[in-house]
Amino acid sequence: MADKQRLHFLFITSSHQGHISPTLHLARHLATSTGAAITFSTTVFAHRRMFSSTQDLITDGLITFIPYSDGYDDGFKSEPSIFTDKFHSYVRTNSKRSVSELVGNLAGRGQPVTCIIYTIVLNWAVEVAREHGIPPVLYWIQTGSVFATYYHFFHGFESLIKAHINDLSFTVSFPGLQPLQIKDLPSFVRVTNYDSADGSILCLFREMFEILDEEKERMKAMVLMNTFQEWEIDVVASFSAELEAIPVGLLPKETNSGAGYLFKEDEKKYMEWLDTKEDGSVVYISFGTMAVMKKDQIKEMVKGLKKSKKAYLWVLRNDNREEGVEIIEEGDQDGNGMVVEWCSQVRVLAHKAVGCIVTHCGWNSTLESLACGVPMVCVPQWSDQGMNAKLVESLWGCGVRSEVDGDGVVKGEELVRCLELVMGDGEKGVEIRTKAKMWKEKALVAGSEGGSSDLNLRAFVRKISD
């Protein structure tokens, strides 16, 4: 125990809510289960939003929060046009310098960092770790299947995919994965213009896997994965000879705390509203923190929800509400739902009244839905979301992917069809709900004390201790 208490993990993550949430969840679990010291660092801009404070050092008793500067302490407008090589170089230079100073300062206080855990494409964090003689460990916050896709893409499959990039129905068979069509692959591997924003991100992914290959020359690189071993056992085995993949998926937790949130929770009493609804009767709709729903999509969503006559709880940020689009809430004429700007998603998904989620299929939302046993209607947008939707529908069988029109909009009639399929009394609906319950039970076992995630994480800590 004395050795474990001397361990000090520095978590480095970007300013996106979808990166902060799973990383902070793992950090808290590591602190409580091992007694290790934890420092959590995200950008100055995100840190200030999380705590509504300009104070740089904040502690909650378990974790010390100290931000790093990426050069955009006042934030930036997240538009595709900004994500150029020049932008990434500027962020890299500032972030690397700031985190290096942070590591030095911690050592100067008698709190030397013994391991740096960094998230997706923060490749500069590895440079900092090497400069200070600290082992770096990647925390992969997407599915093991998506990791395997990138891995095999960069290790032998790139030319095949590029040769068929315009044939969306062309099927690729990666080791350990079910057959996937080009349209199912992460959007970044389908890039044709390398000078685009997506092209620059693909370059960061390529560099990330090159770094893992470099580590392999000294010793097998360790990669922590935000997934449950039982959900993707064949996938993890497909590259285990090259990398040590460590599934450490954790059970989502209900919380009333805003710690770690970049958004203020809506003051509407949505949990009390859910309490008034019958079991499995409510449709929960959320497209995450980055996606912006098109005006036409909002209109079609309203049309479908009204036609379905199902109660709904819809998360729609104020910056995504279009003028001229009337969203009818309960209490209004023909209203049957509640619209909030932000909510505690895990608390909602865990509520017995929720019978389905209409989701963009970001991995955090997908994992939370799976772990809570909530069937899904998938409306993927970009990045890994299309592949997550494929897994939900074809591998895990606990949801359905909606059809979209030429503009990527789910029509109201299609939404009604999907909701009836997932929530209805037909054979398919029963099967989907049964499988959703099964994956929830597997997650409960894996995420509990003595389960695979717990044992994997403890084994990882022992290796860092040696």
Residue 340, amino acid: V
- The vertex-261 CA angle with 201 and 70, nearest 5°, equals 40
Which is catalytic among the residues 16, 19, 152, 351? 19
Every domain of the chain and the residues it spans: 2-148+154-162+172-254+447-465, 270-445
Amino acid 167: pLDDT: 96
Q: Which residues of the chain have pLDDT under 50?
A: 1-5, 256-258, 323-324, 332-333
The predicted structure's pLDDT at residue 270? 92
Q: What is the CATH number of domain 2-148+154-162+172-254+447-465?
A: 3.40.50.2000
pLDDT at 76: 79
d(CA 361, CA 376): 9
Q: Which of 386, 344, 351, 342 is nearest to 366 (CA)?
A: 386
Using CA atoms of 391, 395, 396, 397 in order, give the dihedral in degrees to the nearest 10: 100
Distances in whole angstroms, Cα of residue 230 to Cα of each of 22, 67, 237? 19, 35, 12
What are the start-end ranges of the E strands in 144-200?
A: 171-172, 180-181
Assess whether the region 2-148+154-162+172-254+447-465 and the region 270-445 belong to the same CATH fold. yes
pTM: 0.93
The CATH code belonging to domain 270-445 is 3.40.50.2000
pLDDT of residue 81: 63
DSSP tag of 182? G
Whether 29 is a known active-site residue: answer no
Sorted by sequence, the CB contacts under 8 Å of residue 190 that are 6+ apart come out as 161, 165, 182
Tell me how far apart the alpha carbons of residues 182 and 160 are, in angstroms, rounded to a whole number.
Answer: 11
